[in-house]
Structure 1
């Protein structure tokens, strides 16, 4: 989706050990898409970017022979992002977007938080989407044994199934049902050896602009069907036709994140707030909550609020009761 946002788009690539992140990354870098990509890798990654893509250098930031650049995070991600944008501004580096590859055991939360809480980062970059790769052969066991695997799925805007040729249709269907239970709002694609998915479905997703997502997918925040699996992480949606009282809503969310923030992986919403002529866009990662002004409400438009929560053992009844108490006079 096209966006007028002048900030550099960032794609976060995550997934459990052996899920195929680097295979997909190398495919993206080799494809003739005409864009220069800055790749940020954790130095503890299982396998790095193909050596034949890199030019010899001892610098932390190295140039690739296809015009892209690559750097490793030995310290603070904010510092690396700052160095990259500074070099781009002074003309020593040229790139159009950033792709961050996490390690297989990494929680995507701190990376996503960086784009909400760091003013310098938020001014220069926008988090476009979180892509999570899922190993179809081993995912069920990984989801049972490692909660971080569930968190990676929970954070995703796109879920990419790999190694589907190694499982039966019934096994694949059972896995997809479980993924939907954890995160029913992420589109699911299949990819073999990094191929089979159009890059247009992965880049410029603009999925952290909730208003854009709802324009493209009006049912994005609709309640989904749930299945019975051994999942600590799941999702649910809250919808109301009333307007929120801003003071009560601020107080409620302040208390909510204090008590449940560590277990609130991601939450996003489109809100009707009393006294506001525009839609209010809510984004949250753990204890960090951000709001932005969206488009104006149309004259005869129903002022409906919709919020989706993805988290670990969240008490849906408490969330919904508290949100209802923040609603003023219904429309």
Structure 2
């Protein structure tokens, strides 16, 4: 009989640092057979291009949340198919907008289809130390992710002061009193959670997810052929970002190809050797399709050259 794969769920709001965290975990497991099931809301996966490990199996599930009925069959099928590859570890990185409160239903469906093939080790929630207190006020998903997790990794603690750090921890404990909180700087932590029993105090059951096909956010892809300056791209993003949950992608700028990452008010650029045919930004809208006209108008005003939005 095949050995059970250790299964971890990775949650956390958009831009909290899930992919950075996962990249570092994979470096810690270089001698293990590891698979990643990656879920993004956009039609094009960006983070799958960032995660790289020799021999790693990667499955990308896009166009929605894996906990929504719109991707339910795809998610269960991916878990079942991955079981046949006899991985030692399987990490599921859910979309930042995913509400994982019905994860138990999916695990039960896999068990019915295939038997006890997974040793579910729990949900790890990455919390953005910089933006969390703003997010928790107006985004229900952030609270749901916290409520249904077994370990909190508090990221970006080097970017906040002690007083804010304490307020963030107090708020986390108010939502999930039993959860352990581990501080992280740039995705780096002590990975001894792999040896811990995170489910020792599994105090909640299964609830219906808030993710439905009806409330799925509008995701757009901006494609551009050619170069722009960092100044112009920053000006464009600055103008639209308040109406976006997230903006990310790869863009050709004057200094070469850059990985672009926008979380809250912050725009990060990182040089990359990953050359693309065209520059692309994935834009997840807070205001639905109403963002389309402002994107076109702002691009025309600042860049003034043809781009494609779909």
Residue aligning to 2:37? 40
1:121–1:137 CA distance, 2 compared to 1 (3 A) = farther
CA distance in 2, matches of 1:122, 1:147: 34
Residue aligning to 1:207? 198
CA distance in 2, matches of 1:122, 1:145: 40
Residue aligning to 1:73? 61
Return the offset for 1:44: 2.9
Return the offset for 1:287: 6.6
Return the offset for 1:47: 4.0
Q: Which has the higher contact order (CA 8 A, sep 6+)?
A: 2
CA distance in 1, matches of 2:162, 2:114: 43
CA distance in 2, matches of 1:186, 1:122: 29
1:47–1:164 CA distance, 2 compared to 1 (3 A) = farther
Return the offset for 1:116: 3.2
Return the offset for 1:169: 0.4
CA distance in 2, matches of 1:128, 1:19: 21
1:144–1:26 CA distance, 2 compared to 1 (3 A) = same
Return the offset for 1:32: 4.7
Residue aligning to 1:99? 91
2:15 equivalent to 1:18: yes
Pick from 26, 30, 34 the counterpart of residue 27 of structure 2: 30
CA distance in 2, matches of 1:115, 1:183: 22
Deviations 1:53-78 (A, max 9, x none): 2xxxxxxxxxx5x2221111254211
C-alpha contact 1:163 1:192 (8 A) present in aligned 2: yes
Return the offset for 1:206: 3.3
Taking only aligned residues, the RMSD between alpha carbons, in angstroms, comes to 2.5
State the number of aligned residues.
195
Residue aligning to 1:322? none
CA distance in 2, matches of 1:106, 1:170: 29
Return the offset for 1:51: 4.4
Residue aligning to 2:224? none
Residue aligning to 1:163? 156
Residues 104-123 of structure 1 aligned to structure 2 (within 5 Å): 104-118=96-110, 119-120=112-113, 123=116
Unpaired runs of 5+ residues, structure 1, are: 54-63, 89-93, 214-219, 221-265, 269-283, 289-331
Return the offset for 1:286: 1.6
- Provide TM-score, normalisation by structure 1: 0.54
Unpaired runs of 5+ residues, structure 2, are: 63-70, 210-310
Return the offset for 1:28: 1.3
CA distance in 2, matches of 1:19, 1:173: 18
SS in 1 for 2:47: coil
SS in 2 for 1:108: coil
2:4 equivalent to 1:7: yes
Residue aligning to 1:285? 206
Deviations 1:152-206 (A, max 9, x none): 11111100111111211011101101111100111100111111x22122x2433
